[in-house]
Structure 1
Amino acid sequence: MTTLLHCAGRPVARYLHRPDLDPRLSPRPYLHPVTTPRGTTVTEERPGDHLHHLGVSVAVPDVAGHNFWGGRTFVRDQGPTALDNHGVQHHDHWKLRDPDGFVEDLSWRAGGRELLRERRTVATGELTPTAWALDFTFALTNPGPAALSLGSPATNGRPGAGYGGFFWRAPKERAAPAVLTADAEGEDAVHGRTAGWLALRGTAWTLVFAGATEETRRDPWFVRTEEYPGVGSCLAWHERLPLPAGATAVRRVVTVVADGAPGRGEIAALVRKALS
């Protein structure tokens, strides 16, 4: 089941809120395709290198031991392991659904119980004739009587693999995309670090990711360019993220979706406008 998102009267994204997926992919709602104003697709779903990469989604490898990322689970002292521990993000209902955005309630379920409740808010906004912004907020609440925590392969023993949270899988092209921040360039220079904004640049498109709250800006960026093109904002890079009973974790990432290759000055101006 799908819904279309528009910006300035043009369709720019499709949201699959109840996709029919193999349980091993950790089924969840996601955006694909997402397109630039000129119509270039800047997402990829179920690519051959990682079938569980689903356009733009919220995916967490370890929620109290359950896999909401998809694929294998990293087990300490064992490595990536196929386990029957996958969860499902279930679309419960819409709180609001307009042509340029929506508010959605979801439940994260695994092992026969609800582990998390989520309120997701997504909106589009025009920036220039060649750029628009995707504003994506998710609030994860622990509805149970006991504390739980969110982890990553890094917190389970795999250095540098702190992924989990907002994740954008971009399309693979003949050449790896460039990646840059305001003061650094290249995967090695930006991966695992914080930055006010981070840009991924393909042959005819640029994606600029920015944390829109102080808490979100404290999360490091997970970046891949050579193996595959993808960027995520990480909830549990150095240590697990605790969620006491009744507690809520909120993150907001705004992504500029642009045609062409804007320079650093233009990127900074677009980010300022997107966050204003």
Structure 2
Amino acid sequence: MNHSLIPRSLVLRCSGRPVVRYVVRPEVDRRHAPRPYLHPVSTLSGRTVTDLSPDDHPHHLGASVAVPDVAGSNFWGGRTFVRDQGPVDLENHGTQRHQGFKLHDPDGFVEELVWAAGGEVLLRERRTVAAVALTASAWALDFTFALTNATGADLSIGSPATNGRRGAAYGGFFWRAPKEAKPPEVFTAAADGEVRAHAACADWLALAGDGWTLVFAGATARTRRDPWFVRAADYPGVGSSLASTDRLPVAQGETVVRRVVTVVADGRPGRDEVAALARKAVTA
């Protein structure tokens, strides 16, 4: 592949406004599990709602697909949680590599990637991303990833939770929001607060900061069954949990598909408006 022909980044627009920068060829430390990521992502008024390599977790790269355990390889970054040992610095970090765009428009793209570690391709991915207009103050990022086992044998996806760390079932689509003077509000249709929302299998989950609100919605039946991983007090971040209580098996040649649609809104909509935006986003 001629890497000189691969763009380092591209910009997506919604209603003519730039709202997303997608970094195709990241320049990050290998210990951070190099992978394409979205940053900055902004509201229609221009407020940035992602963070990149913050001091508390330098391997948090905007919004991306990050998985801490794919057949023992770390595609999340940082230390690896090992059962009966805890977090350990291991030389097991993988890399997601761009292979090409099947489609590229001003408001979205379809991309082919490989997930490789130790000289072996473990997964092949087709990623579909689109910026969708909703209202005068809100738009949606529609993100689908399809992971195909490329090893010729069965493998499985895990998380710190499946490796023995209770409450740490992160791994999948993950969004790191900017840290502000006070933690963001967290709520779902039925729950308020980080403690009650964390690990909930809710149709949507909202994170509301200073002048912005993000609404994460599982847009397929399988995605809605994935619990949400939520952090607010320590740092602001929301993701889906591919492996919450048990490892997720991916048989030889099998494909795992997940779709998460994120509403990016200015201001602080009420719960009913958030619910309406989530419904509109997943059907747009």
Q: Is TM > 0.5 for Structure 1 vs Structure 2?
A: yes
Q: 2:28 aligned with 1:34, yes or no?
A: no
Q: Aligned residue for 2:167?
A: 160
Q: 2:212 aligned with 1:212, yes or no?
A: no
What letter is aligned with 1:48?
D
Q: Aligned residue for 2:276?
A: 269
Alignment partners' CA distance in 1, 2:103 and 2:265: 27
- Note the residue ranges of structure 2 that are not aligned, 5 or more in a row: 1-7
What letter is aligned with 1:244?
A
Q: 2:131 aligned with 1:124, yes or no?
A: yes
Name the SS of the counterpart of 2:280 in structure 1.
helix
Alignment partners' CA distance in 2, 1:212 and 1:172: 27
Q: Aligned residue for 2:9?
A: 2
* Alignment of structure 1 residues 42-191 onto 2, 5 Å: 42-191=49-198
The CA deviation at 1:143 is: 1.5
Q: Deviations for 1:139-182, whole angstroms, at most 9, x for unmatched residues? A: 00002211000000000000000000000000000000000000
- Note the residue ranges of structure 1 that are not aligned, 5 or more in a row: none
Q: Aligned residue for 1:245?
A: 252
**TM-score normalised by the chain length of structure 2:** 0.97
**TM-score normalised by the chain length of structure 1:** 0.99
1:258 to 224, 247, 265: 265
Q: Deviations for 1:52-93, whole angstroms, at most 9, x for unmatched residues? A: 000000000000000000000001111000000000000000
The CA deviation at 1:193 is: 1.3
Q: Aligned residue for 1:200?
A: 207
Flag as ranges the 4+ runs of structure 1 deviating above 6 A: none
**What is the root-mean-square deviation in Å for CA atoms of aligned residues?**
0.5
Q: Aligned residue for 2:20?
A: 13
The CA deviation at 1:263 is: 0.4
| Structure 1, 264-273 or 57-66: larger mean CA deviation | 264-273
Alignment partners' CA distance in 2, 1:268 and 1:235: 24
